[in-house]
Structure 1
């Protein structure tokens, strides 16, 4: 085992010892991390097999380089080399990875063993990362990136052993967004148990009166489809899936995940709110899973007084959301989906296995990316 000399300094469980600049910040906020392979006490090293760029980051890269895959690949390589992690400087987001555990120090609390194939359930924006193959097997045209290299996990990192019954690309796609359905389930259950507290509705207690209306923006995507399935399991009474075009509407309708499928531009606040209202809204819970900016106002207007908006998109401007709600005099609770809820990976994988419509949407997306 190769353990990094620490000069008498203890290793930080959150990775402060890997921050190169600026000093004193957490790894996610750092401009540059140290991805060297020698381990500090409490760390584990993973041999990287595949990266999964988050949707907002990949969309930004693709648009910035006019769909030129070689230019996208060069931009990702440049970011990793300069920052020691995959941290898109425009979107501030990264993604996650799959790999095989290579080495674990005795002090690691993660419960991993060498040879375990794992998905990291923490962002690439805070994961020390080095690639050694120039991403030569990636054409720059899909979110999933075949790669060789290594990554470092801290004591406070989160990783899950990949299930043996699912193909790696499929499991990776699910785990990339597994925080969304877990938090959606929690929020929908909360509204079901207590009712909207400021909207004049009678609370229901597993029985008789009001169950929440749930709207999901970006409902045919990965996080959106899982969020619809989670809302159904949690007791959502009426599920509204919002998609941007007829093709996604057809896919979502075929999947059977929503009670109403709405085609609307989530960046047009009034049109979106009107469409949601005509389809059974406004929503008690609105879940934002789109990968484009400018959807804050529409999500707020689509939500009932006393309701909750959950933002899972890394394209969200949280200042726009807060100031927009204030300017609209909207009494809504707004939550940031931070990607971690206890048991989130298990829930997402179970939803994939038990909800045929979710699996069809995921497999269709992966097949389209592979072409």
Structure 2
């Protein structure tokens, strides 16, 4: 039974019989009418998280129509976008169309925003059948509406950057902020970023350097991505290794100046836990910033090799994370080139 009054976590929108938070719910109430502390957003674009989209792409052999149909089915059946296989969703861009009188988010009607909370807990209705999306990319043109709760997070999109670029950055803005915080707690650490050529990885490399890393190592899966990362100038060393091969990853990081004091995992494929642990020095820290991570595999793997490392789950939120990530984009030309290159490839 739903509560009679709204809850800032969105508990009042949960339709399950059990009392669970919206992220864990099987279905959410998507009624347009707002509770006093809610905000309704007219959706322009969904940004599916990388792990979720890659899983759908593999499942359907890259077939765009099948991918689109499954996304529509998930949202229609659950009232939110939450991939049942990966458990992850993404985020959205839209325009605020109504603000409840008790909303604490500081948003106004007409604000163009990006949500900084997951689609896995955001009530969502798609009204155009995703007719403008061919299913062949993570950014999804969409007409519909979404509801934000009292404890949701959203950021107004800056006027000085293209909306698609801002969305790409805000989708992963928790990674560089947490990386910077952890690096600042060490004295000139060696930092390895697994998946350093990707969105969260490139921002994390820039954040590590800015926060005082003595050496940065970017790990990528193939030479083409290595060349792009070297050209961007974001890492002292760039190495090619399969992150799913624990020995190859350990040896590559060690040869590049490791083991790392801090290892940041930003890849969107499963099976990278063991290599990240082996690539990290005793008393070091591993930050898992991928929804493809098996946290049981990480915990048991560290125990199994007697690794004395601290393991952190990047939860996507650090105070001020959106503004920090946008500033990294503005001040690091290499980061911006990588992001713009990814967008051009998807165009």
When the two structures are superposed, what TM-score results if normalisation uses the length of structure 1?
Answer: 0.93
Alignment of 1:187 with 2:182, yes or no, is yes
* Structure 1 match to 2:224: 247
* Structure 2 match to 1:293: 270
Q: Secondary structure at the match of 2:166?
A: helix
Shift of 1:23: 2.9
Q: Secondary structure at the match of 2:185?
A: helix
Alignment of 1:134 with 2:111, yes or no, is no
Match of 1:359 among 326, 333, 336: 336
Q: What is the CA RMSD across the aligned residues, in angstroms?
A: 1.1
Match of 1:235 among 192, 212, 220: 212
Instruction: Tell whether the 8 Å contact from 1:22 to 1:31 is kept in structure 2 after alignment.
Output: no
* Structure 1 match to 2:280: 303
* Structure 2 match to 1:344: 321
* Structure 1 match to 2:118: 123
Shift of 1:191: 1.4
Alignment of 1:41 with 2:36, yes or no, is yes
Instruction: Tell whether the 8 Å contact from 1:95 to 1:123 is kept in structure 2 after alignment.
Output: yes
**Structure 1 residues 55-77: Cα deviation after superposition (integer angstroms, max 9, x where no partner):** 00000000000000000000100
The runs of at least 4 consecutive aligned structure 1 residues that moved more than 6 Å come to none
Alpha-carbon distance change, 139 to 7 in structure 1, aligned in 2, over 3 angstroms: closer
Gaps of 5+ in 2: none
Shift of 1:22: 3.9
**Structure 1 residues 181-239: Cα deviation after superposition (integer angstroms, max 9, x where no partner):** 000000000112xxxxxxxxxxxxxxxxxx10000000000000000000000000000
CA separation in 2, counterparts of 1:11 and 1:277? Answer: 52
Gaps of 5+ in 1: 1-5, 193-210
Instruction: Tell whether the 8 Å contact from 1:311 to 1:336 is kept in structure 2 after alignment.
Output: yes
Match of 1:112 among 101, 107, 121: 107
Q: Secondary structure at the match of 2:45?
A: strand
* Structure 1 match to 2:45: 50
CA separation in 2, counterparts of 1:173 and 1:111? Answer: 23
Match of 2:165 among 141, 146, 170: 170
* Structure 1 match to 2:7: 12
Match of 1:212 among 174, 189, 206: 189
When the two structures are superposed, what TM-score results if normalisation uses the length of structure 2?
Answer: 0.99
Alpha-carbon distance change, 278 to 29 in structure 1, aligned in 2, over 3 angstroms: same
**Matches for 1:39-78 after TM superposition, within 5 Å:** 39-78=34-73
* Structure 2 match to 1:80: 75
CA separation in 1, counterparts of 2:47 and 2:286? Answer: 26
Q: Which has the larger radius of gyration?
A: 1
